[in-house]
Amino acid sequence: MFNDVIGFIKNLYGERSFIGLHEPIFGGNERKYVNEAIDSTFVSSVGKFVDQFESKFAEYIGGGHAIVTSNGTSALHAALHLLDVGPGDEVITQALTFVATANAIAYCGAHPVFLDSDIKNLGLSSLVLEEFLTQNAEVRDGVCRNKNTGRIIKACVPMHVFGHPVNIEEIVSICGRFHIAVLEDAAESVGSLYKGVHTGLFGKMGVYSFNGNKIITAGGGGLIVTRDAALGKRAKHVTTTAKVPHAWDFYHDEVGFNYRMPNLNAALALGQLERIPEFVSSKRAIAEEYGAFFDKKGIQFVREPADARSNYWLNAIVLDNREQRDLFLRETNGAGVMTRPIWQLMSELPMYKNSQFSDLQVARYLRDRIVNLPSSVRIG
């Protein structure tokens, strides 16, 4: 039934036995920098490539203070900790997200509150957020509480799905009225802009991932960004085991995390970062080809929302129903073309099934119909 789609993808990426979902590409200075890091013997969390990558990344996104971490999940956890999220607090996020978003909240001992998605950008719906807070929250003495549970609503974590920016300005505005800090889960949106500003720079903090399947990779790795210099300084301190700098003494002034990115990974990431304009351009061109093809097929292709410039990290289509989705997955994967469904709803996973959640009509609709397509960068 989907032979024409399989043929198109194989033509797009070349005839081969297996086409991955998102394969990294190395052809710049990655090997040179990694070898230099090895030769320096500084391969752990101290080294010049850690500092260079932080500086160059902040320059690329157009501002803020960048603090690298071991992975995107550790960045989320540390950022929530820095926002003083702790046991008994509540954190609002979307039900349709990667599990790391919810897990980081749980690591803090906090309770996730799962809200519905926006059909246009796939992320947290600003309309549902405002409705939920208007009906369920009250602010007293600068503190927002859930009227039903009595818990403090400490933060909101919108996630930019597949690199498509959420309606982040509106979300920040709504949360501001309710004295709720916004932490952007920008793990998938390196290279994406909303109204000309890079994702991750709208909230109190933003976090990114450089996992092996991301648009640029460090093999692993993550990063926290903030415009607040004092918060950035504390983020670096807390993610470096809260060790007070000293030539030889070991003194730690609070509970910290061993979350810093190793120099070896930063060397790889720096080589990748040098090529990101080329990568984003390639991915947007691929998205245009996909979009034109699926328009002719009468299949909905997920395009960037209004006011956004997406990196199109993962291209996606929306099929008619779950049965058609499952057939598509079987046929494409059976032909050596890697495709994947979107995630399960967080509220339906065993560890989060007792969490609060809104009506999730849109999230369930998307969960049953979305399929990700091969989206690797093409160079040459």
Domain boundary pick from 273, 290, 317? 273
In three-state secondary structure terms, 32 is helix
Residues 191 and 315 in one domain: no
Domain boundary pick from 245, 273, 301? 273
pLDDT band at 380 (very low <50, low <70, confident <90, very high): low
Is 90 exceeded by the pLDDT of residue 349? yes
Residues 147 and 10 in one domain: no
The whole-angstrom distance between residue 95's C-alpha and the CA centroid of its chain comes to: 14
Residues 244 and 308 in one domain: no
Residue 345 within any structural domain of the chain: yes
Edge-to-edge strands, sheet with 315-318: 300-301, 315-318, 370-373, 340-341
Residue 280 within any structural domain of the chain: yes
DSSP code of residue 308: E
Q: Find the length of the chain.
A: 380
Taking each helix axis from N to C end, the angle separating 3-13 and 322-334, rounded to the nearest 10 degrees, works out to: 50
Nearest to 93 by CA among 137, 130, 124, 136: 124
CATH of the domain at 158: 3.40.640.10
Position 188 scores a pLDDT of 98
pLDDT band at 184 (very low <50, low <70, confident <90, very high): very high
The mean of the pLDDT values for the chain is 97
Rounded mean pLDDT, 76-97: 98
Going by their DSSP bridges, the two strands 90-94 and 153-157 should be labelled as parallel
Position 16 scores a pLDDT of 87
Domain boundary pick from 247, 273, 299? 273
Residues 154 and 48 in one domain: yes
- Residue 306 in tokens: 């209004």
Residues 200 and 306 in one domain: no
In three-state secondary structure terms, 154 is strand
Residue 262 within any structural domain of the chain: yes
Residue 380 within any structural domain of the chain: no
Record the pTM.
Answer: 0.96
Is 70 exceeded by the pLDDT of residue 303? yes
Residue 63 within any structural domain of the chain: yes
The whole-angstrom distance between residue 99's C-alpha and the CA centroid of its chain comes to: 11
Residues 63 and 169 in one domain: yes
In three-state secondary structure terms, 130 is helix
Residues 266 and 285 in one domain: no
Is 90 exceeded by the pLDDT of residue 379? no
Question: CA 9, CA 154: separation in Å to the nearest integer?
Answer: 44
Q: Which domain holds residue 210?
A: 30-273
The whole-angstrom distance between residue 343's C-alpha and the CA centroid of its chain comes to: 13
Position 5 scores a pLDDT of 97
Question: CA 12, CA 194: separation in Å to the nearest integer?
Answer: 28
| C-alpha dist (Å) from residue 87 to 69, 155, 161, 283, 333 | 23, 13, 27, 41, 42
Is 90 exceeded by the pLDDT of residue 1? no
Residue 239 within any structural domain of the chain: yes
Q: What is the pLDDT of residues 134-171, one digit of tens each?
A: 999 999 999 999 999 999 999 999 999 999 999 999 99
Q: What is the pLDDT of residues 233-273, one digit of tens each?
A: 999 999 999 999 999 999 999 999 999 999 999 999 999 99
Question: CA 379, CA 283: separation in Å to the nearest integer?
Answer: 10
Question: CA 237, CA 230: separation in Å to the nearest integer?
Answer: 11
Could you give the number of structural domains in the chain? 2
% of the chain beyond a pLDDT of 70 = 100
Residues 183 and 215 in one domain: yes
Rounded mean pLDDT, 278-294: 98
Residue 378 within any structural domain of the chain: no
Q: What is the pLDDT of residues 322-343, one digit of tens each?
A: 999 999 999 999 999 999 999 9
- CB distance 346 to 99 below 8 Å: yes
Residues 188 and 261 in one domain: yes
Residues 232 and 84 in one domain: yes
Strands in the chain per DSSP E: 65-69, 90-94, 111-115, 137-140, 143-146, 153-157, 181-185, 193-194, 197-198, 205-209, 222-226, 300-301, 308-309, 315-318, 340-341, 356-357, 370-373
- Residue 45 in tokens: 């969390």
